[in-house]
Amino acid sequence: MSKFNIILIVVFVVAAILAVLMFSGLIPGFGLGGGESKADLVLWGTVNKRAILPIITELNEQNKNIFSIQYVEKPISSFENDLINALASSSGPDLWLLPQDMILKHEDKVFVIPYSNTFTERSFKDVFVSEGELFTNSTGVIGFPFTIDPIVMYWNRDLYQGVGISNPPEFWDEFLVNAPIFNRYDDAGNIVQSGAALGEFSNIKNAKELVSMLILQTGNNIVDPQSREIVFNDKGDAPLPPAEAAVKFYNQFSDPAKNSYVWNRSMDDSRRLFSSGKLANYFGFASDFNTIKKLNPHLNFDVTLVPQIKDSKLVATFGRMEAVVVSKASKNLNASFSAAYSLSSIPSINLVEENLLLPPVRRDIIKEGTKSPEMAIFYKASLQAKGWLEPDPMEVYSIFKEMVESSAVGKLRIYEAVRQAEGRLEKLLK
């Protein structure tokens, strides 16, 4: 065994022992450098710099003799290309915030932190919400969860009162019946007020994520996290394959021949329509809450958990998650590990909620509860959140869009559209 490998093993053992202490909340952060000089680290992400700066500042103060993190905010549109180019030219960051939909594309650039007797897969599961397990593999941890942004259902209280419905439905069968009750039409027969934004892609925010959510609620994954094979239409004991069932249900809301018809592609963007008071139910992320309030401070709305499949034992929504990962190319591995651990510690995640207005990724913080009625819903949704290993988020959007639209207009039958999507996803995974 080489001297370098022996050193790395020692580092990982020390890191693992300290990680257990940090996970348990006994220490807020720590260093692995011993007598080494302070390390200057660079962290990249797309999170607003003004919002994340208090977290970084506090962490730097706690670890001022060990490391200093400089945060660089990157535009979402150029983040991936900037990262690839920077790593290729040996000028990349020590750490970055990796979204769950980019794990497959970029895990080869990340230093996987191995499990040990003191730092186990069990300890990771005990600390972080279930979706965090996307950032693990059979050998160790790809990244430490930092933020989670689950899909919830926003509902217009005034519109509900207007039709005499006291509360939003808990299950999809009731939702399917209730949604068209809110519809209002102009003299030409156009929908001017709708019960829900479902059934299309181009003017529905988060359409890809909503279709993913419907599939995941069946209990099926979309890509098996172990074998990395497409499984989203494996039927099992279900009467209809999961992906086909999800597409069939989703398309009902944009079919004029159905009683559930509430949406078409000529309508305004779903979030704008909800903010204007003309949409009864909007499926958005927790992060949409303040955006909606800014768009219309006078809107009388509330938030609840997304409907579920009746009589199903599984309760699920979709969640976006970002984790702190350590670059293989970092010249400060010890300090980078320390910073990654510390960014997922209790004090840091508390500051995430305070400054980013997102629910915590840590189970111990969720267990303590919250006084905010909206955040209480987000807490529950973060425990229910699921995601999947997307081979390429932009390509997946295109595949899901074609799957939904081609079957909605009758170009393909639903099973044909799903089979075509399955084939395209399989090609991406090769």
Task: Clarify whether residues 291 and 374 are in a common domain.
Answer: no
Query: DSSP string of 209-243?
Result: HHHHHHHHTTT--SB-TTT--B-TT--TTSSS-HH
Percent residues over pLDDT 70 in the chain = 91
User: What are the pLDDT digits (tens) for 411-424?
Assistant: 999 999 999 999 99
225: exposed, middle or buried (C-beta count within 10 Å: 0-12, 13-18, 19+)?
Answer: middle
Mean pLDDT computed over every residue of the chain:
92
Whether residues 269 and 413 fall in one domain: yes
Does residue 99 sit in the same domain as residue 39?
yes
Q: Find the farthest-apart pair of alpha carbons in the chain and give their distance in angstroms, rounded.
A: 80
Q: How many CB atoms lie within 10 A of CB 105?
A: 17
What values do phi and psi take at 382, rounded to 5?
A: -65, -30
Same domain, 420 and 305: yes
266 close to 189: Cβ distance less than 8 angstroms: no
Do residues 188 and 313 both lie within one domain? Answer: yes
Q: pLDDT tens digits, residue range 34-71?
A: 445 799 999 999 999 999 999 999 999 999 999 999 99
Q: Are residues 349 and 331 in the same domain?
A: yes
Contact between residue 283 and residue 206 where contact means Cβ atoms under 8 Å apart: yes
Mean pLDDT for the stretch of residues 160-174? 98
What pLDDT is attached to residue 343?
Answer: 97
Average pLDDT over residues 153-177: 98
pLDDT digits (tens, 9 = 90+) for 13-38: 445 445 544 454 434 444 444 445 79
In the chain, the amino acid numbered 312 is: S
Query: In the prediction, which pLDDT does 236 show?
Result: 65
Q: Where are the alpha helices (DSSP H) in 63-194?
A: 76-88, 103-106, 121-127, 157-163, 172-178
Higher pLDDT, 405 or 233: 405
Are residues 142 and 205 both part of a single domain?
no
Say yes or no: 98 and 193 in one domain: no
Q: Which is more confident, 365 or 116?
A: 365
Taking residues 333-356, report their average pLDDT.
96
pLDDT of residue 36: 59
Let me know whether 177 and 198 are in one domain: yes
pLDDT tens by residue, 143-156 = 999 999 999 999 99
CA 23 to chain centre: 22
Of the candidate ranges 1-5, 368-372, 382-386, 394-398, the one whose mean pLDDT is the lowest: 1-5
Q: What is the mean pLDDT of residues 288-315?
A: 97
Query: At residue 349, does pLDDT exceed 50?
Result: yes
pLDDT score at 159: 99
Amino acid of residue 231: V
363 has pLDDT over 90: yes
Number of structural domains the chain divides into: 2
Tokens at residue 129, please? 């919400």
- Expressed in angstroms, the distance from the first to the final Cα of the chain is 34
Burial class (CB in 10 A: 0-12, 13-18, 19+), 397: middle
**Mean pLDDT across 389-393:** 97
308 — alpha (psi -120 to 50), left (phi > 0) or beta? beta
- Shared-domain flag, residues 357 and 395: no
Q: Is the same domain home to 358 and 379?
A: yes
* pLDDT category of residue 237 using cuts at 50, 70 and 90: low
Task: Give the rounded percent of residues in the chain with a pLDDT score beyond 90.
Answer: 87
Task: Say yes or no to pLDDT of 3 above 80.
Answer: no
Supply the CATH number for residue 119's domain.
3.40.190.10
* Domain span at 40: 3-149+320-386
- Which run of H or E residues covers position 113? strand 113-114
Query: Percent helix, strand and coil across the chain, each rounded to 5?
Result: 45, 15, 35
267 and 372 share a domain? no
